[in-house]
Amino acid sequence: MENQIIESQVINLTKDDFSSDQMVKWCPGCGDHAILHAVENVFPNLGIPKEDFVVVSGIGCSSRFPYYMNTYGIHSIHGRAAAIATGVKLANPKLSVWMITGDGDCMAIGGNHFIHTIRRNIDINILLFNNKIYGLTKGQYSPTTPKGTKTKTSPQGTFERPFNPGELVIGSQGNFFARSLDTNPKHMSAIFIEAAKHKGTSVVEVLQNCVIFFNKAHDLITSRETKDDNQLFIEHGKPLIYGKDNNKGIILKGTSLEAVTIGENGITEKDILVHNQYDADPGIHVMLARMMPPEFPVALGVIRSVAAETFETSMTDSISHEKEVSKIRNVDDLLNSGSTWTIE
Amino acid sequence: MTTKKSKVVGLEQVVVRFAGDSGDGMQLTGSLFSDSTAFAGNDFATFPDYPAEIRAPQGTVAGVSGFQIHFGQNTIYTSGDLADVLIAMNPASLKANMKWIKNGAIIIIDIDAFTEKGYEKAGYASDPLTDGTLDGYNMIKAPITAFTKEAVKHLDLDNKSVLKTKNMFALGIIMYMFNRELKHVNTYYEKKFKANPLIIEANKAVLAAGFNYADTIEALGSTFKVEPAPLEKGKYRNITGNVATAWGFMAAAERAKRELFLGSYPITPATEILQELTNHKDLSVKAFQAEDEIAGIVSAIGASFTGSLAITTTSGPGLSLKSEAIGLAVMTELPLVIVDVQRGGPSTGLPTKSEQSDLLQALFGRNGEAPVIIIAAQNSVDCFYSAFEAAKLSLEHMTPAILLTDGSLANGSEVFKIPRMSDMPEIHPPLVKANDASYKPYRRDPEKLNRFWAVPGTEGLRHRIGGLEKENISGNVSHDPLNHQNMIMLREEKVQRVANYIPEQEVRGKSSGELLVVSWGGTFGVMRTVVEKMQKEGKSISLAHFRHIMPLPKNTEEVLSGFKKIVVCEINNGQFVKYLKMNFPQYKYAQYNKIQGLPFMIAELEEKFNALLNE
């Protein structure tokens, strides 16, 4: 391969560089609009040339995303985005690869690709829009629909236990998991930037609202009345404190987390757990990812961010090494290698 | 070793079959004999016959592993019908292989394994050595186990290691029988076990012991010599179909100046292609072992979008799993080669046996109107050229291609005249240059109708593709009724126009006459052998063996029109014949089909063709 000269250039891009001319066809009020705007705001600020972005998706409402971005993009088939993104990244590790997916696309039909992509730690950024319902097929339950929810295919309420995406990511040896909200564009943007910076598979779960088929699925977390007591914005090195009066916190009691009020029962700020997103041990991260109202607030922000070698780096290194040590430089060498004989 | 007692008889061609328990090392024995055959200058073809289980119960018929080699002083087209010489390391391998040997064949057995216990495991009700089963055969009852032990008793080896070398005793006998030199085998052990001199010494000692045993015994009335074949001048090697397939793609990647990307999931009998390509990082091959068949193909689609020569390899059940993704590649009009190493189906079927039963799946097994290029390799060496051609057509016409091979080509090996890369055709993928203002995702080449390849990372060409129907030229999502019909016709026509870029169908023999034999894919060797034999006998018979299935060569109709009768021979229940009937309903087609997980035999085809000629 010829030497690649990486030009260091100041890249002046704006949101307009990434907006496509296609009509955005999501329902009015859909959370996807806000996520699209956040992504359009983030891409110009990553220092990456615009032709180096590839947006990959599967099938579902969220998966129309690539058509609405002016980047290279593939809108593929149901569930397979992670494996397609893998092929894109391995073919050209220089590219910034973004996968857009929903709860059904990612964790039902695409579950296998999702866990294995994470396990391999391929450097792609996965934005998982979790609206807890199948929207494009009009209202069937998904792998994240809360147990007992009545949907078109669960008229008596679902019998299934839902996945918690963070738990699944970390259980698949994921090294980056973050969560954000479609109602908080500023936070989304900040988190997407963190995901982009992370080398390896990064998964951001965006709690996204489907206004038509499961409106207010995240109401406890997002409604004006309850949000302050149910949103915990976590930051590395900061205590896990939340609440309207900033007097609630999370402590580690025995082997479990507990939500407490500072000043009650002798709890002081010193007792509150300090977030360490870089902790290689996933124990606390899983517990944080699992926190859900009403018992706990939902953790928003980067829950886990651990450095590890990526698959494509190992592969590229291995290729460089083999090219260096092998006597086979081209296909003629290959054809003539090993046991051959000549007829005169 | 130069003082041979027995007289030497010249033979034109011979079939030798090695059979033993699956742990007896028969594949290695066979391949070492093949190497020696190459050095002797003969043409040859081989075929391994092994059980689906890695270690079936020892000593049973289910656990028998075989390796057949057909070599000769003339061109060899097949791995041979029935064996002239059988080496049977135990009663089960004798029992399993009696139906694959000629009347009066030489049978070499390890007499030490022919015990009551051995008969019981093999399911022999009585002693085959005495009950008449072997009457008329030329039996060599060699005490292989005992003499092997004797040969290495001076080395301090455990019993297991000793028994592992007894295949070399058998090989030694065969090497003597065919007047071969031992040095290539010895060199193999010296290289392979450099770190373990004891193993080298043991194998050499046992090999020599077998050779000397054969020299000593009276049983071997004569030895045999097969003169070198009149092969063209040049450099040769031995190659299996799977390795040839892998190398064909590496050759195509080099000629196309693209990186090769393979996304694949292990499946018998295609796995060796994945294994071979993972071993060629030195040629920048990116071989990705995916989590399943679907990830195998879609990762390849991702790599294709990104500018690689992308391929995926599988067998029948895997092709089923890849159907939807092939449709995506058709819709996105990306280059992609899907290799299906066919095996017995349906479902898991006969994983280690060969069949031609995925043809209709390859042609039609997708939702919607989803045509793809289909090429079928005709022998193990042709896997190299077919892989190259499938890649070339797919890249230049921007549409997926399916390459059909099969288990017998994949595992069988043949003598391969090493080509020079500079003699291989150039490949020109329709890449778009940066900032080409005229670029539109679905603008087409007026001749081939392919769209153009704009690769991520290239400035000024950002675009989106996907599985939804696209407007022609602009590539925007479109549900317009007329556009949909137009796009379907364009994709179909694009594949049909590939016929302008492939050779015309060849007819072996006269272009008109009584009987045209039609076949396709992996049966070429046997078809050619039979037809040429009958032509020599003066019969009015010709062969049209198809490599190009979709599209069919332009002169196909003309080829079919020249004969009074047409017979289509396939290792399936009649799939190509259905396709021909569909395309050329004006002809009557007779059929010969065999679906036993076994190749055609020369005699059965001859009988069928003679019957048709005499009707």
Q: Is residue B365 part of a domain?
A: yes
pLDDT higher than 70, residue A116:
yes
Tell me phi and psi for residue B415, to 5 degrees: -80, 130
Cα distance between residue B385 and residue A213, in whole Å = 55
Shared-domain flag, residues B559 and B591: yes
Interface test with A, best of B293, B298, B477 (most A CBs within 10 A): B298
The verdict on B184 and B329 lying in the same domain is: no
* Residues ≥6 apart with Cβ < 8 Å to B464: A20, A66, A67, A69, A71, A72, A73, A74, A75, B441, B475
Q: Chain B, 221-260: which have a CB under 8 Å from a chain A CB?
A: 228, 231-238, 247, 250-251, 254, 259
What pLDDT is stored for residue A339 in this prediction? 87
Confidence of residue A344 (pLDDT cuts 50, 70, 90): confident
Same domain as B263, residue B195: no
Statement: residue A46 has pLDDT above 90: yes
What residues contact residue A98 under an 8 Å CB cut-off, 6+ apart?
A39, A53, A54, A55, A56, A85, A124, A125, A126, A127
pLDDT above 90: percentage of residues in chain A? 94
Question: Does residue B466 sit within a domain?
Answer: no
Q: Please answer whether residues B90 and B112 qualify as being in contact, where contact means their C-beta atoms are separated by less than 8 angstroms.
A: no
361-420 in chain B: CB under 8 A from chain A: 418-420
Residue B432 confidence class, pLDDT cut points 50, 70, 90: very high
CB < 8 Å from A in window 25-44 of B: 35, 38-39, 41
Domains in chain B: how many in total?
3
Q: Summarize pLDDT for A164-188 with one digit per residue, the tens.
A: 999 999 999 999 999 999 999 999 9
Q: Does B609 touch chain A (CB under 8 A)?
A: no
Instruction: Chain A: give the shortest CA distance to residue B464, in Å.
Output: 4
The answer to whether B254 contacts A1, with C-beta atoms less than 8 Å apart, is no
Measured between beta carbons, the chain A residues lying within 8 angstroms of B458 are: 51
**What local confidence, expressed as pLDDT, does residue A3 receive?**
41
Average pLDDT along chain A: 95
Contacts of B384 (CB under 8 A, 6+ apart): B239, B244, B245, B247, B248, B251, B416, B419
Q: Chain A within 8 Å of B161 (Cβ-Cβ)?
A: no
Residues B211 and B272 in one domain: no
Q: Quote the minimal CA–CA distance from A64 to chain B in Å.
A: 10
Check whether residue B319 and residue B356 sit in a common domain.
yes
Query: For residue B485, is it within any domain?
Result: no
* pLDDT band at residue B221 under the 50/70/90 scheme: confident
Same domain, B206 and B278: no
- How high is the pLDDT of residue A10? 64
A 300-319 near B (Cβ less than 8 A): 315, 318-319
Identify the pLDDT of residue B481: 98
Q: How far is B529 from B535, CA to CA, in rounded Å?
A: 10
Q: Kindly list the distances between the CA atom of residue B56 and the CA atoms of B21, B23, B52, in Å, as whole numbers in the listed order.
A: 9, 9, 9
pLDDT of residue B4: 55
Fold of A2-238+275-320: Rossmann fold (3.40.50)
Secondary structure of residue B372 in the 3-state scheme: coil
- The reply to whether residue A335 touches residue B421, judged by beta carbons under 8 angstroms, is yes
Residue B73 and residue B210 in one domain: yes
Neighbour-count burial for A240-261, b at 16+ CB within 10 Å, e otherwise = bbbbeeeebbbbeeeeebebbe
User: Could you tell me the CATH number of the domain that includes residue B308?
Assistant: 3.40.50.970
B210 in the same domain as B277: no
Q: Give the per-residue pLDDT at A162.
A: 98
Residues of chain A with CATH 3.40.50.970: 2-238+275-320
The answer to whether residue B383 sits within a structural domain is yes
Q: Where are the beta strands (DSSP E) in B330-400?
A: 337-342, 373-376
Q: Which of B423, B458, B487 is the last residue of a domain?
A: B423
> Is there a single domain that holds both residue B208 and residue B60?
yes
Q: Which letter does DSSP use for residue B601 in this model?
A: -
Confidence band, pLDDT 50/70/90 cuts, at residue B5: low
Asked if pLDDT for residue A2 goes beyond 50, the answer is no
Nearest to A51 among B250, B261, B459 (CB): B459
Tokens 């055609």 belong to B600
Q: Which ipTM did the prediction report?
A: 0.96
Render pLDDT for A151-163 as a digit per residue (tens, 0 to 9). 999 999 999 999 9
Show the domain range for B570.
513-614
Question: What does the pLDDT average to over A195-201?
Answer: 98
Least confident residue range of A215-219, B249-253, B493-497: A215-219
Residues B100 and B187 in one domain: yes
Are B87 and B179 members of one domain? yes
Domain CATH number, residue B43: 3.40.920.10
Contact indicator for B482, B458 with CB cutoff of 8 Å: no
Q: Look at residue B6 in the predicted model and tell me its pLDDT.
A: 67
Q: Is B324 within a domain?
A: yes
Asked whether residue B195 falls in the same domain as residue B52, the answer is yes
Confidence at A8, pLDDT banded by 50, 70, 90: very low
Which of A88, A329, A332 has its CB closest to that of B306? A88
- State how far the Cα of B71 lies from the Cα of A164, in Å rounded to an integer: 63
pLDDT tens digit sequence for A98-109: 999 999 999 999
Q: What is the pTM of this model?
A: 0.95
* pLDDT band of B23, cuts 50, 70, 90: confident
